[in-house]
Every structure is written in structure tokens, then in C-alpha cells.
Amino acid sequence: MRCEVVAHGEHLVTLPLRVVLALVVIGAVTAIGVWGLVTVLRIKSMTEAQRMMTVAGIVTLVSALTAWVILWPAYWD
């Protein structure tokens, strides 16, 4: 299945559906990660060390999920 981007009657881009879904999932994971980072940095009751550990955990989790979304379909091809 393919997704086509059409503007003014011209076909601009044709992408497989899984590429579009992967981009949507990566965007969602990144948005949740940014939301988590902003939340952690706004908390007043955490020490700086606790904040940095939490930020490191969020960055690690977001990068691992993004890598999984990118590499998992390549494993099945």
C-alpha cells in the first residue's frame, strides 16, 4: 500500500504506508519526550542530579524507541 502526496493535481511524493506510519510514531514519541523533559525541568522539589538522571533516562528511552521504529521493519525485509 502506498500513500501519495498530491498538490495542484501533481503527484509530489509516493511513500509506502509503513514509512508514513513510522514518521507519525517517531513524531509522537518525540513529542512525549519533549513533554517529559519540560515537566522534569519545571519540578522544583528535585535536586539537579535527580533532574539530570531523569533527563538522561528520557533521552535514552526516546532514542531507543526511535531506533526500534526505524530498524524493526528493516529486520523483516
Q: What is the pLDDT of residues 1-20, one digit of tens each?
A: 677 777 776 776 777 778 88
Statement: residue 26 has pLDDT above 80: yes
Kindly give the interhelix angle for 48-76 and 17-42, rounded to the nearest 10 degrees. Answer: 170
Residue 3: which H helix or E strand, with range?
strand 2-7
pLDDT for 74 equals 67
pTM, 2 dp: 0.71
- For 18-32, what is the mean pLDDT? 88
- Could you report the per-residue pLDDT of 36-76, keeping only the tens digit for each? 999 998 998 999 999 999 999 999 999 999 888 888 776 66
